Amino acid sequence: MTTPIFCCGAECGIASAGSPHVVINGNAAISTAVFRSGLRSFELNTGGGVGYIEVVTLPNVTRLIGRLYLRWASLPSGGIAFIYLGDSSGPKIRYNSPDQKLYCAVGATMGATGVAIAPGLNWIRVDFDFAINLAGNDTADARIDGVALGQATDVGMSAAQTSLRVGTTGNTTVDVFIDDIILSTTPADYPIGDGYVYGYVPTSDGVHNIIGTTFSRTLTGTPINNATTTAYQLVDDVPLESGAGVDWIRMAAPWTTGDYVSSKFGASIGGFPLPDHGPRAVQPIIAFHSSQGVAGSSVWFLLNEPGGNTQIWNGAGQNVTIGTTIAYASAQVAPFAPAWHVRNDGSPGDFTRMQHWFYQPVTQPSGRPDVYLDGVIVEAEFATVPNFGVAESGAGASQQAAQILSPRMTPTARGLVDR
């Protein structure tokens, strides 16, 4: 069973410097024109400069197992480090321009065999296993569409790392798309293999627990109470809001212990029905800000599931000055048992039972800054293609599923292509 620590398909649409999830650097952007699954991917179109994405939420790791997909619109103009842990001095996958192959490498030492790549419409799957040995040689192992690259080993890095980079920090020319990322620190997970990342936003209110006038709609003063059924419409924006924010749920002091507004996750973004089986990785991402900054506030953002709660962000003990600019927080969630059925029928663990809570765990006096929830999205990674055609039955259902959301579609249909 895969034990992920991170997944991303660019579905939140946020990759700015303030993202807690993936940051884009140089000539990098989010693409809504070309993607393998969902509605977005990352694109590096460097034009002779620098361009890379960076996963910035890793713990200190000396072992990183991962899988992602690449589609090369054009190959690099020179040999470059392309997927690497920390910086390019350690374990990585690099492109070698003389033979147009991808190789494992540690520092300047490449593995004995590589796999040729070519520009075009095909997506290639890249599985990798990077290991940092603080007392000896680092190693890099990888597979391209299941074909193993020669292992690379050499003296590499001398410390654990907290980031993964995909792209180049040196001047080069390349145009490449990146999608469906999942990461683990469990050696037995290698290779992770096929998978797909989709995005889910709130589509209905859960059961609120509100005493008094703690919550309201933006700055209108219109209260949100236990009978409210449309609060989710304030936090369902895709991409997640950035800058100063447009609409939000307001939490204003005095706060009462246990107060929360709840949202349920339903249809995936784009209006597709729920899939017919559960994910193996779940990554909630929230957007929030405050009226004057939050200093040591006890506001919590939780993902509530059958079996327990996961904190996405906890302000207790933190001196976080946000002001009017939106900030973001994210966490990886291991789906609770029993397995998720996600059929929107009340089965244990389906998406209607996975809820987001904007929560106040302790009573707070008047005069505390307001806190605003601007948006929430869940990026979920599936080991096999979800059947999004469950609304119909019989032969037509399979055809509808293939036409609506299967990654094995022609690029003219929805920008989706497969290897």
Q: What is the 3-state secondary structure (H, E, C) of 214-240?
A: CEEECCCCCECCCCCCCHHHHCCCCCC
- Dihedral pair phi/psi, residue 394, rounded to 5°: 80, -165
Proportion of the chain in helix, strand, coil states, percent, rounded to 5: 5, 40, 55
Reported as a pLDDT band with limits 50, 70 and 90, residue 183 is very high
The boundaries of every CATH 2.60.120.200 domain in the chain are 4-194
- How high is the pLDDT of residue 409? 33
* pLDDT at 319 > cutoff 80: no
Reported as a pLDDT band with limits 50, 70 and 90, residue 24 is very high
- What topology is assigned to 4-194 in CATH? Jelly Rolls (2.60.120)
As a whole number of angstroms, the distance between CA 264 and CA 272 comes to: 16
Ramachandran category for residue 173: left, alpha or beta (phi over 0 → left; psi -120 to 50 → alpha): beta
* pLDDT at 362 > cutoff 90: no
* pLDDT at 240 > cutoff 70: yes
As a whole number of angstroms, the distance between CA 271 and CA 178 comes to: 24
- How high is the pLDDT of residue 330? 85
Distance, CA of 76 to chain centre: 26
In terms of Cα–Cα distance, which of 267, 238, 245 is closest to 376? 238
- How high is the pLDDT of residue 254? 74
- How high is the pLDDT of residue 336? 58
Average pLDDT of the chain, as a whole number? 81
* pLDDT at 405 > cutoff 50: no
Q: Which of 17-26, 29-38, 263-272 has the least mean pLDDT? A: 263-272
- How high is the pLDDT of residue 403? 32
- Domain 198-382 sits in CATH 2.60.120: yes
Percent of the chain's residues with pLDDT above 70? 77
Element (H, E) at 403: helix 395-404
In terms of Cα–Cα distance, which of 228, 140, 135, 186 is closest to 6? 186
* pLDDT at 98 > cutoff 80: yes
In this predicted model, which residue has the larger pLDDT, 386 or 231? 231
Per-residue pLDDT, averaged over 142-166, amounts to 95
- How high is the pLDDT of residue 398? 30
